[in-house]
Amino acid sequence: MTDTVAAALARVRGPAAPVRHNARTIAALTGNPDCRRRAVLDAAGVDKTALAQYVGHPARYGQSPFAIIRGHAFEARVKADGYAALRALVAAKLPGADVAGPAVDLGDGGADNAARYARTRAVLGGDEVALADHPLLRLSVAGQHVYLEPDLVACRVAGRLHVVEVKSFPVLDGRADPAKVAAAAVQAAVYVLGLRELRAAGGADPDAVATDALLVCPRDFGHEPTVAVLDLRRQVAVLRRQLRRLARVADLLADLPADFTVDLGGEGGAPARPPGAVAAALARLAARYTPDCLAACELAYHCRAEAAGSTAALGPAVREELGGVPDVAAVLAYADGAPPADPTQAEAAAVLRRAARLRAEALAGAAVWEC
Amino acid sequence: MLSALARAQAAATGVAQPLTTVGHLHAAAAPLVCVPLALAGETLAPLAALVGTDRAAPRLLVVPQPRNRDLRFAFAAALAAEVLPYLDARRGATEDVPADRGRQVRVRYLDAPQVWVPNPGGVEFVRLLGRSLRFRRTDGEHPVPAAVPRLGCWLTFLADRAELPGSALLVAATAALGAHWATGQSAVEDAHLPALLAWIDPPEGRTGAGAAAAAEDPAVTPPAGPATDPAFDRDVLAPLVAAYDRGAPDAPGRLAAALRGQLTPAWDAVWRAYDLLAALPPGATVAARWGQDRDAFTGYAAHLDEGGLPQPRHDSAVAAAARLHRLERAAATYALQRAYDDPLVLADHRLAGEAFRGEVVLADPTRVDDSGRRPVLRPRITVRSADPLHLAPGTALCAPGRPKQRATLVSVEGRDAVLELRGGMGRGRTPEAGSVPEVGEVVTYTTLTDAFAPAPAFPAPEDTPWTHGGPPADPAGGDPRGGAEVPGDPPAGAPPEPVPAG
C-alpha cells in the first residue's frame, strides 16, 4: 500500500486505533461488494460500532454470554490434552492420516504483527508441525494487506495443510443448519486463501493448502464433537474472484474530498464533532443497503434510516419485482399513471399501472365469482 | 408482483396493506398458544415457555438451570401435562366421511388441535423438542414418564405437518400474518412479530412505521423467542441463573418473574395475531383443508393408540420420495385453492399472464365434435379480454367458478380467445342450464388446474433400487411409521456442564 493511501485511510479514521479485520468482515465484504461505505471504512479500520452509536443508530446484535461460554467450553474440549480429541477426529475422518506430530500455539499476544506473521510463516512453511493453532494470516484486500487473527487450527495431513474450524452449532442426525454451514464455509475459504498467500510469500507451494476443510461441531444434543469435510473449491474460487473485483480503495478514496473523515473528534483535547456532521460526512460515502446488512454490518441501522423511502429498503426481491424503480414515491406515481421520468422505466411503469388497476379491482370487487 | 406493489403502498402510507380478500387459514375455536424460550448457544435447552388455551391465564414453565438434564425433563413433563390433555380433548365427536368413491366410510374427529407459536423459530423449537423426546425410554438408565416420549411423537407430528403448505395444525404467527398483509418493511424485518403486528395493527394514534421502529428495541419489546435478547442474557438471566446455582432462596421466584416479563409481550402478540386472522372471512376451501388436518390428526392418534413407533430419525429413500411428493402436491393444490378463493390472489396470476378475465362474446353451447369414434359435446365460447393473452393454443385452462369443467385454448386473435369446453355439463347431449357460460357473462380462466395426478408408484422399502442406496439395512427404519432407538445413542443432553465462573 502506498504511503498516500495509508495516510488517507489514517485521516478517514482519525486518531483512534484501527480495528482489525477478521474472516467474518471479509466474508461480509464479499457478500455486498458494491458497498463503497463498507469498503472504505473497513479498509481504514474504522470502529463502526462506535460510529453507529455516535450517529444514533447503534447496532443491535451481540452475543449472549451463554453462547460464548458454550463456544469456549466446546473448543476447550476439542483442544484438551494436547488436541487429543481433534487428532482422533481427523485420523478417523481422513484415512491414513498421521497427526501424531507436535502442536504449536502461535497465539502469542505479545509480539507485533510482523513478528507473529514471520513466525507463522516459518512454522507453516516447514513440515515438522502437525497442528498449528491461532496462526496470524495476511490477505490482500482491496489493494492492501490486512492481518487476520483466525480462530483456527491448521492441520498437516499427508503433506497437505487443512483448515480446521471448530464451531459450536450442532450437527443433528447428520444435518446442520445450512445457513451456518455456508457461513462457516466462506470463513474457511478466507483462511484457505490466507494460508496460500502465506505459503507463497515464504516461497513454499501454495497448493499444498487443501481445499477440503474440516468442520468440527457438537453432535446431536450433547457435547461430543463430530467432524465433517467441507469441499471449499467453489467458495475459494468465488472469494478469489470477488476479492479481485473489489474496487481498489485508492480509487474510492480519489472520489472523496481531500478532507473527508469520519473522525468523531474529542480525542486529545479536540472538540467532539456534532453527530449530525459525522452523519453528513458518511452520506458522501455511498452505501448499498440491503436488509441482509442488518445481520452483517454494524452500521446497517444507520444505512437503513438513510434508505427510508427507497425500494432497496424493502429488499432486493421486492425492488426487482417493482422493475428496479429506486423510489417508493416513483413506484406509486407510476402506479397512478404518471409518465415515467426516465424512458428506461417505461416498461416498469406500464406493468405497475396495470398491477395497480388489477389490485384495486380485486379489492373493490366482492369475493364472489361472476357465474 | 402485486405483493411488491402492496409493500410499496404500505411504505408510503405507513400502514400494512391487505394481500388477500379472504382468510386462507382456518382459525380453530380453541387454539393452544405456546411461546418458548431457549438458552443461547445450546442445541436445545428449553429455558421457559408460556403455554395455554386461556389468554388471560397462561401457564409459565421455567427451567432455572437449562443445562441440568433433570430440570429439562421436568420441563418436558410439565409441558406434556399442558399439551396432551389439550390434544385428547380434541378427540370427541367423530363424523363419517365417504372414501373410495363412496364404497367405504372413513371416520374422523370433528375437531383437531391448533398450536400457535410466534414464528418459524417456534416451529423449529417444537421440531427439536420432539426429536429430543420421542426416543426417550420409560425404563433403563434414565427413565422418563410415558407422557414425555408421547409428547415427543406429537410435537414431531405437528412440526412435520407444519411443512405441508395449507396445513393449520401448527401455525407460526409471523408466517400466517405475512401471508395476509404486506408491510412497508422487508421480509427480514417481518420476522420480528412485534414489528410485524405494529404495521398491521398499530396502536391508537401511531403509524405502523413508527410503532414498528419502537417495537424493534429489545429493551422495550423483548424478542418473541425462542432466542433471547443477548443483553437480557448478560444483565438479567446470567446473574439469576448463577444465583440459582448458589442456592439463593429468592432466585427461582425472580427468574420466573424476569422470564414472564420477557414472554408476556409475545404471548399477547400471538393472541392478537390469532384475533386478526380469525376475523377474516374464511375462503371457500379453508374448511376442506382443515378436514385434511383432522384426517391427519385422527390417523396419528390411532397410530399412537395402536402402540405405533415414533417417527424415524431419517426417512428411508422411499419414504423421503413419498414425502416430497406429498409436499409438492400440497403446495400446488394450496396455490390453486388460494387463487380460486381469492380474486386478489388470482389478480397476481392475471398480471403474470397465467389467467385472464373477460366477457363472453360468442357461445356455441351445443357444438358436437364428431370427428372421433362417437360424437361428444364440446361447446365453444369466445372470450374478449383486456388482459394480455400470451398463452399458446392447446393450453389447458380452468374457470374458478366451474371447477369441474376443463377448457382448452383453441386460438387467440387479438383480444379474443376461443375456448373449447368439456365436462361439468351433465350427461345429456345438451348442456345443463348454466353449465356453459352465456354471451355477456364475465368469466375468468386460468392455467392453474388441479388435474388429477396419480401418485407415482413408489417401490416397497425392500425393493429400493441401488440408485437410492438399496434396501435400508434396518427394515424398521425404512417404514415411514417405523423407526427405533439406535443402539448406542447417547442420552439427550450430556450430563450438566458446570457453568464456568465469571
Which three-class secondary structure state does DSSP give residue B18? strand
Instruction: State the amino acid at position B159 in one-letter form.
Output: A
Locate all alpha helices (DSSP H) within B314-472, ordered by sequence: 317-341, 343-351
Asked whether residue A237 is domain-assigned, the answer is no
Phi (first) and psi of residue B88, to 5 degrees: -65, -35
Q: Could you count the other beta carbons within 10 Å of the beta carbon of residue B394? A: 9
Percent of chain B with pLDDT over 90: 57
pLDDT tier, B500 (very low <50, low <70, confident <90, very high otherwise) = very low
Q: Report how far Cα A37 is from the mean position of its chain's Cα atoms.
A: 14
Q: Cβ separation of A168 and B216 shorter than 8 Å?
A: no
Q: Over range B250-279, report the average pLDDT.
A: 95
pLDDT at residue number B260: 95
Q: Cβ separation of B234 and A65 shorter than 8 Å?
A: yes
H/E stretch holding B105 reads strand B104-109
Q: Cβ separation of A328 and B499 shorter than 8 Å?
A: no
Asked whether residue A371 is domain-assigned, the answer is no
Please tell me the total count of domains within chain A.
Answer: 3
Sort out which chain A residues have CB atoms less than 8 A from B40's CB and list them: 63-64, 66-67, 70
Lowest model confidence (mean pLDDT) among A119-133, A296-310, A340-354, B306-320 = A119-133
Q: Residue B40: which of A64, A314, A352 has the nearest Cβ?
A: A64
Residues A54 and A126 in one domain: no
CA-based Rg of chain A, rounded to a whole angstrom? 25
Sort out which chain A residues have CB atoms less than 8 A from B231's CB and list them: 62
pLDDT at residue number B79: 96
A335 part of contact set with chain B, CB < 8 Å = yes
Residues A251 and A336 in one domain: no
Q: Residue B41: which of A66, A309, A315 has the nearest Cβ?
A: A66
Average pLDDT for chain A: 83
pLDDT at residue number B482: 35
- Which residue did the predictor score with more confidence, B219 or A170? A170
pLDDT tier, A2 (very low <50, low <70, confident <90, very high otherwise) = low
The CATH code belonging to domain B355-446 is 2.40.30
Asked whether residue A369 is domain-assigned, the answer is no
Q: Cβ separation of A60 and B189 shorter than 8 Å?
A: no
Residues A25 and A80 in one domain: no
Rounded-to-integer distance, Cα B13 and Cα A329, Å: 11
Q: Over range A119-128, report the average pLDDT.
A: 79
Residues A147 and A49 in one domain: no
Asked whether residue A241 is domain-assigned, the answer is no
What pLDDT, in 10s, does the model give residues A307-316? 989 999 999 9
Q: Cβ separation of A64 and B42 shorter than 8 Å?
A: no
Residue A366 has pLDDT above 50, yes or no: no
Q: Is B101 exposed, middle or buried (0-12, 13-18, 19+ CB in 10 A)?
A: exposed
- Which residue did the predictor score with more confidence, A306 or A43? A306
Rounded-to-integer distance, Cα A117 and Cα A135, Å: 8
What pLDDT, in 10s, does the model give residues B85-108? 999 999 999 999 888 787 888 899
Residues A92 and A206 in one domain: yes
Domain extent for A191:
65-231
Residues A37 and A101 in one domain: no
Residue B314 has pLDDT above 60, yes or no: yes
Residues A102 and A15 in one domain: no
Sort out which chain A residues have CB atoms less than 8 A from B437's CB and list them: 371
What pLDDT, in 10s, does the model give residues A126-144? 777 788 888 888 887 766 6
Residue B180 has pLDDT above 90, yes or no: yes
Residues A16 and A120 in one domain: no
Closest among B352, B364, B335 to B450, alpha carbons compared: B335
Q: Cβ separation of A222 and B437 shorter than 8 Å?
A: no
Of the spans A88-97, A361-370, B155-164, B485-494, which averages the highest pLDDT? B155-164
H/E stretch holding B364 reads strand B355-364
Residue B479 has pLDDT above 60, yes or no: no
- Which residue did the predictor score with more confidence, A248 or B460? B460
Residue A265 has pLDDT above 60, yes or no: yes
Average pLDDT for chain B: 88
Residue A345 has pLDDT above 70, yes or no: yes
pLDDT tier, B305 (very low <50, low <70, confident <90, very high otherwise) = very high
Which of B43, B44, B438 is best to mutate for the A interface (most A CBs within 10 A)? Answer: B43
pTM, entire model: 0.89
What pLDDT, in 10s, does the model give residues B234-248? 999 999 999 999 999
Q: How far is B370 from chain A (nearest CA, A)?
A: 29
Q: Residue A221: which of B184, B344, B492 has the nearest Cβ?
A: B492
pLDDT at residue number B501: 37
Residues A160 and A69 in one domain: yes
Mind spelling out the 3-state secondary structure of B253-313?
HHHHHHHHHHHHHHHHHHHHHHHHHHCCCECCCHHHHHHHHHHHHHHHHHHHHCCCCCCCC
Per-residue cell: B319: 419414504
Per-residue cell: B471: 434396501
Which of A32, A49, A66 is best to mutate for the B interface (most B CBs within 10 A)? Answer: A66
Lowest model confidence (mean pLDDT) among A229-233, B27-31, B215-219, B225-229 = B215-219
pLDDT at residue number B451: 64
Lowest model confidence (mean pLDDT) among A64-68, B77-81, B403-407 = B403-407
What pLDDT, in 10s, does the model give residues B383-411? 998 888 888 999 999 888 887 888 999 99
pLDDT at residue number B492: 35
Lowest model confidence (mean pLDDT) among A25-39, B182-196, B325-339 = A25-39
- Which residue did the predictor score with more confidence, A243 or A356? A356
Q: How far is CA B402 from CA B22, B99, B174, B281, B398, in A?
A: 19, 23, 34, 22, 7
CA-based Rg of chain B, rounded to a whole angstrom? 27
Instruction: State the amino acid at position B231 in one-letter form.
Output: A
Q: Over range A321-348, report the average pLDDT.
A: 89
pLDDT at residue number B65: 92
Residues A139 and A256 in one domain: no
Residue A120 has pLDDT above 70, yes or no: yes
Q: Cβ separation of B216 and A60 shorter than 8 Å?
A: yes
Q: Over range A244-248, report the average pLDDT.
A: 70
Q: Cβ separation of A291 and B188 shorter than 8 Å?
A: yes
pLDDT at residue number B216: 86
Per-residue cell: B24: 386462507
Point out the domain boundary residue: A306, A338, A353: A306
Residue B57 has pLDDT above 80, yes or no: yes
Residue B232 has pLDDT above 60, yes or no: yes
Structural domain boundaries in chain B: 2-311, 314-352+450-481, 355-446
pLDDT at residue number B241: 93
pLDDT at residue number B477: 43
Residue B30 has pLDDT above 90, yes or no: yes
pLDDT tier, A226 (very low <50, low <70, confident <90, very high otherwise) = very high
What pLDDT, in 10s, does the model give residues A172-190? 988 899 989 998 998 899 8
Residue B380 has pLDDT above 50, yes or no: yes
pLDDT at residue number A3: 62
What pLDDT, in 10s, does the model give residues B352-367? 888 998 999 999 988 8
pLDDT at residue number B486: 33
Closest chain A residue to B282 measured between Cα atoms? A367
Residue A110 has pLDDT above 70, yes or no: no
Residues A7 and A31 in one domain: yes
Query: Backbone dihedral region of A304: left (phi > 0), alpha (psi from -120 to 50 degrees) or beta?
Result: alpha
Phi (first) and psi of residue B36, to 5 degrees: -95, 155
Residues A49 and A132 in one domain: no
